[in-house]
Amino acid sequence: MKKWVLGGAAALLMSVAAMAAPAPFGLEIGKASIQDMKAAHSAKSAGTNAYSGGDMYELDVSRIEFEGLKSVLVIFNPSGKVEAVVATLNKDRFDAVAKGLSGKYKTVSKQLPFVGNKKMVWADGNTEIVLDAPHLSFDMTMQYATKDLLRKFNQTSSDNSKAKAKSEASQL
């Protein structure tokens, strides 16, 4: 009987862990609050995000032990929950970071030319993780974002492009 109970408890714990959203730098996407972030990190306000409508904060990366980390921006929704975490890192860390992400998340796409822009995308539930290393840059970005925020960003970008094209056409 004890084996069944212990086995069931272990299976339950593993399923709960599997359901947890990604948590870059300890900030669970869609769940961590501004208070959670402030309890774990030193941060300063970076204004309001145009796409989420929530607050943004820059973390003090000197207090985060992650090789090559240059900056971290945390974007919240209006309810104060994390919508995205965007980090800038040294590009020479691409292979190591990609390996770590590939071990945790399902790979959706990858573009890994010998020379040129490198990009990999992973998915985990409602979160998309993108590692993007432009060829002519020394930096790369690692972005964790909810699909809802990405939808808002893409819609706003599309609307802005259409408005710009309409405005230019009216001037002809």
Distance of alpha carbon 40 from alpha carbon 33, whole angstroms: 11
* pLDDT at residue 20, as a whole number: 75
* pLDDT at residue 19, as a whole number: 61
* β-pair partners for 118: 133
Distance of alpha carbon 106 from alpha carbon 18, whole angstroms: 12
Compute the Cα dihedral for 121, 133, 68, 62 and give only its sign: negative
Residue 150: phi and psi, rounded to 5, are -65, -40
* pLDDT at residue 83, as a whole number: 94
* pLDDT at residue 68, as a whole number: 92
Report the side by side order of strands in the sheet with 118-124. Answer: 43-48, 55-59, 69-76, 82-90, 139-146, 127-133, 118-124, 106-111
Find, among 117, 149, 146, the residue nearest to 129 by Cα. Answer: 146
* pLDDT at residue 29, as a whole number: 95
pLDDT by 10s per residue, the chain, length 172: 444 333 444 433 343 445 678 999 999 999 999 999 999 999 999 999 988 999 999 999 999 999 999 999 999 999 999 999 999 999 999 999 999 999 999 999 898 888 888 999 999 989 999 999 999 899 999 999 999 888 887 777 777 777 778 787 877 7
Assign 84 to helix, strand or coil: strand
* pLDDT at residue 25, as a whole number: 94
Which burial class, exposed, middle or buried, applies to 129 when counting CB atoms under 10 A from its CB (0-12, 13-18, 19+)? buried
* pLDDT at residue 9, as a whole number: 40
Token pair for residue 159?
A: 């609307």
* pLDDT at residue 101, as a whole number: 93
What pTM does this model have? Answer: 0.79
